Chains A and B, each alone.
Chain A
């Protein structure tokens, strides 16, 4: 760079545009989770009849699992948004990882109960390609919206930020798939949904630097 620092300061100050402070990550996460949740609810209504979808919530273990997925969605989105604010994000990301662990623990507990109730049949794995395809398809639009929100922040940790964003989106889409389609065994959710969520997070981390980058950097 050959530009003089004083000249750079002058250029940056010249024609300065207003840049109102971004809202707090926690509040922005509430806004995104609400909007994305409504969108996923519409997708679920399109895939399954409302009576059947609502009926599944009467099962307490199903409800607990989905609430854990929703908490993971919210905390992961809040963590991703926090990580784009300089000097913040560490605690929020730990909370998100804790929430995802709780969700994973609840699914594992379901697998254990299935095994205790039905033996090895309870852990018999069936293909669930509909959900493997459905999670990214359902999550595409909310994911795009979250990516736009993340790009308004500072790309300080692009890989973890993108991974947390993908975790948030995929958890919500997984919740939608669980409500829309019956899953006889929790092992199906553990393996197929878990693998899809993990795959989405790893993929997002790999392309994180392309999505979230300093626009002026060489």
Chain B
């Protein structure tokens, strides 16, 4: 880790490859009811966390307790997320949300793909990147965050702004055509 803090990528790869099985063992032992995919998600969450706070490691102290504190925290957060999701009730998608038909027609669909492409090209770089990665390539927020180096919150904001801008541009285009 000391070498990784000095941007030694080879040492960092070796470290992450060495700790991944150990993290997997701890996660699997403490979440023995979790499925393979869920365990892997938690392992990746721990690795992302280690990466995010690698500057907090004090080279004069042992690495094990530092890593275990992160694992415990991510497991607790994972359990909290799980409990939150467990409280949610899944409902079928409803086609009609309001009684007034005008609120239910066309929704988010848009007729002319060419104009949509043009509108996306006209977006600021950050917003365009967020739309391309998450809406067109279907990446999750976490994956897009890793790919861009942006935070999840920043990506959410960029996506929200991009969608609002696209809606505004396309509605304007639509109005001028009619």
Contacts and interface: CB of A to CB of B under 8 A. Distances in A.
SS class, residues of chain A in contact with chain B: loop
A49 B40 CA distance: 63
Point out which of B48, B56, B65, B145 has the most chain A C-beta atoms below 10 A from its C-beta: B56
Nearest to B76: A156
A58 interface: no
A21 B58 CA distance: 6
A156 B69 contact: yes
B81 interface: yes
A216 B16 contact: no
Nearest to B81: A218
A144 to B, nearest CB: 18
A216 B152 contact: yes
Interface string A20-56: 1110100000000000000000000000000000000
A12 B16 CA distance: 9
B146 A217 contact: no
Given A9-B16, A16-B9, A19-B5, A214 B44 contact: no
Given A1-B44, A2-B140, A86-B66, A156 B16 contact: no
Given A86-B66, A216-B151, A16 B55 contact: no
B47 interface: yes
Given A1-B41, A16-B9, A217 B143 contact: no
B: interface residue count bin: 35 or more
B109 interface: no
Given A18-B5, A21-B5, A214 B13 contact: no
Contacts, number: 125
Which of A19, A20, A153 has most chain B Cβ within 10 Å? A19
B176 interface: no
A46 B8 CA distance: 50
Contacts of B57: 21, 86
A66 B178 CA distance: 73
A9 B69 contact: no
A86 B54 contact: no
B170 interface: no
B55 A152 contact: yes
Interface string B28-69: 000000000000110111011101111111110100011111
A3 B146 contact: yes
Interface of B: 4-10, 12-13, 16-17, 20, 40-41, 43-45, 47-49, 51-59, 61, 65-70, 73, 77, 81, 140-143, 145-147, 151-153
- Report the 6 A-B pairs with minimum CB-CB distance, sorted nearest first: A86-B69, A215-B151, A154-B53, A19-B55, A18-B7, A87-B69
24 contacts: A1-B41, A1-B45, A2-B143, A9-B20, A11-B147, A12-B12, A12-B146, A16-B8, A16-B9, A18-B6, A20-B6, A20-B55, A21-B59, A24-B58, A85-B56, A86-B56, A87-B65, A154-B49, A154-B56, A215-B52, A216-B45, A216-B49, A217-B45, A218-B141
